[in-house]
Amino acid sequence: MSKELRLMKGNEAIAEAAIRCGVDGYFGYPITPQSEILEHLMAEKPYEKTGMVVLQAESEVASINMVYGGAATGKRVMTTSSSPGISLMQEGLSYIAGAELPALIVNVVRGGPGLGTIQPSQADYFQTTKGGGHGDYRLITLAPSSVQEMYDFVELGFELAFKYRNPVMILSDGVIGQVMEKVEVDDYKPRWTDEYIKQNFPWAAFGKLPTRNHNIITSLELDSSKQEQVNIRIQSKYKECEAKEVRYEEIMTQDAEYLFVAYGSSARICQKAIELARSEGIKVGLLRPITLWPFPSKALKALGQKMKGILSIEMSAGQMVEDVKLAVECRVPVEHYGRFGGIIPTPTEICEALKKVIAK
Amino acid sequence: MTEEIIIAGFGGQGVLSMGKILAYSGIMQNKEVSWMPSYGPEMRGGTSNVTVIISDERISSPCLNQFDTAIILNQQSMDKFEHSVKSGGLLIYDPNGITDHPTRKDINIYQVAATDKASEIGIMKLFNMIVLGGFLKIKSIVTPEMLHKGLEKSLPARHHHLIPDNEKAVEIGKEILKPYHLL
Amino acid sequence: MTREEIIKPENLVYRRTPVLTDATMHYCPGCGHGTVHRMIAEVIEEMGIQENTIGIAPVGCSVLAYNYFDVDFIEAAHGRAPAIATAIKRLKPDHFVFSYQGDGDLAAIGTGETIHTCNRGENITMIFVNNGIYGMTGGQMAPTTLEGMKTATSPYGRDREIMGNTLKITELLAQLPGTCYVTRQAVYSPATARKCKKAIRQAFEYQKLGKGVSFVEVVSNCNSGWKLQPVQANEWLVENMLPMFPLGDMKVPDKE
């Protein structure tokens, strides 16, 4: 069956994907620039189409804890927000990771710190990939750079979340949330049945079975030696994730002498900068991390060795650039160029920044 | 073919919906499209702009600082975007309310007096379609059939009876477009 | 008598419900939590709903409640049990969902979730154990601490000028259109305990009706935090807590 083609905002694509891939529940609180997600869900009445629950919670704190509750029963549940709201969710994220629950969270990042601005930013990279909440945990982080990827990463996100029993974050920003592009949408898939959940997720608290003791979902373990074992198990899961789930895209790297590293909307702007630079004879390519955690360090190390210089482009004061430097082990000069506070760098600016790197 | 367009004016002038109709028409014609709005407080009456890209190839950046075409509907936008038109590019503007007319000599400039025309014949709500007509006269990147389909896609079904009026407004725009400075 | 003889129906005077696990409770001697746990477990057994009940435990003294109930249980972040209960009930409307919370959890850090869950009228049962103090963390002031009452963080007695007023959250919740049954009970004597169990049973029965939150406050004691012997603590409760927190139903569903 041919897929249906739609013109959609990135935010709407998230909502549409959630309905069509059979998500059980969405719990969220409006915040710019991602309110279209909840608006679209409410307009589409998924509770009539697939039985999906959609609830506007009283806060982001409530939202993430509703997600925790839903996930504890083995259901596919998600929330979305933007930077200040995601900060409020950090405690809940730590609990979800600690209790080893699958869940999907979307952050359509805006400029900070504080209330900041509603314009696009990528300054939540540290918060997302290095923790944010307390304790040794990681968020599997997907960085879409198109509306189609916003759509596709919802189902992929749930797949990874259930595979590793760990929260997955789609780290987007105001550009990808607000831009309209073509999207291929799938047919509606049915939600998982209770029987399917019982068979496949025996750990979940969906109601006691006569054949087993009660299931408990908790992140509490007062015995430190047991809690250390919990941590060791979680870390081994992360090792597996690092080995198997790295995703990235290389663009025009074949003959490149210089390399941009950029994700999300910055990666799109870099592609225009590559057009401009190549028209002036500068051989530059792009490595676009798709998973920010696990970060494509090995690929970057291998590719970086062939480069005269690397320029990390982010809408931040320089966060991912630290991982870029670690990946290439300082064997290649690595510079950062970024705009922040909601300002989007222009392709021309990026080109100029590259020329400065070349001149060094 | 790649056409990179900025449409800018006041919120409420239909800047965003004009861009959306163009983008939908592009999709109907099997093009790649991108529609990137300015968003936020502008929605409530300030300046509003949208970058629309229509291309035969995969679109790189949805955010641009140089454009093939600027469609400008107020003075603030003229101040902001006149110099963002690529050399040899196109600027179309509604002279209503413009005090400082464009001065570029390296681009083609046209006027489309859509405000005056729309109020004259009492179709203020279709003001933006008159402007769009002006643009399509110079750059026929979407055919009238595809524009029709684009209107069908972007307007809710309850407004489909207004499509002929929209198309008429586009034709009016084509008629009233006049050159201001040509290369 | 041998064990076999003791458990013969004609000899049996007390039988522990199988809805409680074999885990030894960690509560202080004389604490009300154990009694309330047992009542809930008995109600679940009597209603035959062990396999389709999901409980939510708080942070506080009853943080480990999940170890004692042989039903599927979820441990919440501090104060968020009502949010978790909301999601579960909406995703699994054919299950009985109850939250179990103390005064810090329900009436301080989680007030937002408490009020909004009650106002939305989620079809859940909320059990609120109020002992006017933070037991687990070592006897600090709670929102329900009485005026003049000494705690670790009100060492000279609660002074309303400095520390604000005692919060009667149950009265507040009874005002909300989303609650269908709101009652205040106690477990300091056999008579009050019997009434309390009836109220808990009522609350679970009302959950079936789908008319909103059924809410049971249990005024309880904290011998450790109050620094009293169990018997003295119960006497103190009657003399001091009950005037502020009078027992009885505040809201009962209309009979239809």
In angstroms, the Cα distances linking A106 to A19, A143, A196 are 15, 10, 26
Contacts of A45 (CB under 8 A, 6+ apart): none
Rounded Cα distance, A14 and A29, in Å? 15
Q: Which residues of B are less than 8 Å from A286 in CB distance?
A: none
What pLDDT digit, counting tens, does each position of B101-119 carry? 999 999 999 999 999 999 9
Compute CA distances A188 → A153, C197, C222, whole Å.
16, 47, 54
Average pLDDT, chain C: 96
Question: 3-class SS at C103?
Answer: helix
**Residue A44 exposure: Cα atoms within 13 Å on the Cβ side:** 24
Which structural domain range is residue B159 located in? 2-181
Which of A98, A188, A105 shows the shortest CA–CA distance to A138? A98
* Position C203 in a domain: yes
Containing A69, the helix (H) or strand (E) segment is helix A60-72
Ranking A339-343, C78-82, C114-118, C203-207 by mean pLDDT, the lowest is A339-343
Q: Is residue A2 scored above 70 in pLDDT? A: no
Q: Can you tell me whether residue B87 is helix, strand or coil?
A: strand
Residue B40 in contact with partner chain A when CB distance is under 8 A = yes
The residue-averaged pLDDT of C59-86 equals: 97
E strands, chain A, in order: 4-9, 25-28, 53-56, 77-81, 103-109, 140-142, 167-173, 180-185, 216-217, 248-251, 258-261, 284-289, 291-293, 309-314, 334-338
Helix-strand-coil percent breakdown of chain A, rounded to 5?
Answer: 45, 20, 35
- pLDDT at residue B173 greater than cutoff 70: yes
Phi, psi dihedrals of residue B3, rounded to the nearest 5°: -120, 120
Among residues 172-211 of chain A, which lie with CB inside 8 Å of chain B? 174-175, 178-182
Task: Say whether B23 and A7 touch across the interface (CB within 8 A).
Answer: yes
Q: Name the residue ranges covered by the structural domains of chain A.
A: 4-194, 248-359
For domain A248-359, say whether CATH 3.20.20.30 is its number.
Answer: no
| CATH number of the domain enclosing B50 | 3.40.920.10
pLDDT at B46 over 80: no
In angstroms, how far is the first alpha carbon of chain B from the final one? 21
- The residue behind tokens 């909840």 is A38
Asked whether residue C14 is domain-assigned, the answer is no
The answer to whether B127 and B118 have CB atoms below 8 angstroms apart is yes
Q: Name the pTM for this structure.
A: 0.95
Residue C255 banded pLDDT, cuts 50, 70, 90: low
Domain that holds residue C204: 31-251
Residues B134 and B143: their CA atoms lie apart, in Å, by 14
- CB-nearest to C88 from A73, A95, A219 is A73
Tell me whether residues A61 and C72 touch, CB distance under 8 A.
no
Report how many domains make up chain C. Answer: 1
User: With touching defined as 3+ CB pairs under 8 A, do chains C and B touch?
Assistant: no
What is d(CA C214, CA C125) in angstroms, rounded to the nearest whole number?
Answer: 5
pLDDT in tens, A97-140: 999 999 999 999 999 999 999 999 999 999 999 989 999 999 99
User: By the CB < 8 Å criterion, does A73 face chain C?
Assistant: yes
Q: What is the pLDDT of residues A192-249, one digit of tens each?
A: 999 999 999 999 999 999 999 999 999 999 999 999 999 999 999 999 999 999 999 9
How many CB atoms within 10 Å of residue A51?
A: 13
Cα-Cα-Cα-Cα torsion A153, A159, A165, A170, nearest 10 degrees, comes to 0
The letter for the amino acid at A155 is: E
Amino acid making up residue A115: L
Arithmetic mean of pLDDT over chain A: 97
pLDDT digits (tens, 9 = 90+) for A29-58: 999 999 999 999 999 999 999 999 999 999
Q: In the predicted model, is pLDDT for residue C44 greater than 60?
A: yes
Does A324 have pLDDT greater than 60? yes
CATH number of the domain encompassing residue C206: 3.40.50.970
**Fold agreement (A4-194, A248-359):** yes
Q: Domain count of chain B?
A: 1
Residue A338 has a pLDDT of: 97
Chain A contact probe: residue of C17, C40, C75 with most A CBs at under 10 A? C75
- The Cα of C75 is separated from the nearest Cα of chain A by a number of Å equal to 5
Chain C environment of A215 (Cβ under 8 Å): 72-73
Tokens at C38, concatenated? 């047992």
State mean pLDDT over B69-73: 97
Q: In the numeric block, which tokens belong to residue C48?
A: 């035959």
What is the structure's pLDDT at C7? 84
Q: Which two three-digit tokens encode residue C145?
A: 């601490």
**pLDDT averaged over every residue in chain B:** 93
Please answer whether residues A167 and A97 qualify as being in contact, where contact means their C-beta atoms are separated by less than 8 angstroms: yes
Q: What is the pLDDT of residue C256?
A: 54
Show the CA angle centred on residue A85, arms to residues B16 and A127, nearest 5°. Answer: 110
Query: From 1.10.4160.10, 3.40.120.10, 3.40.50.970, 3.30.420.280, which CATH number describes the A4-194 domain?
Result: 3.40.50.970
B17 and chain A in contact, CB less than 8 A:
no
Contact C121, C89 (CB under 8 A): no
pLDDT in tens, C84-126: 999 999 999 999 999 999 999 999 999 999 999 999 999 999 9
Instruction: Kindly list the residues from chain A whose CB atom is less than 8 angstroms away from the CB atom of residue C85.
Output: 69
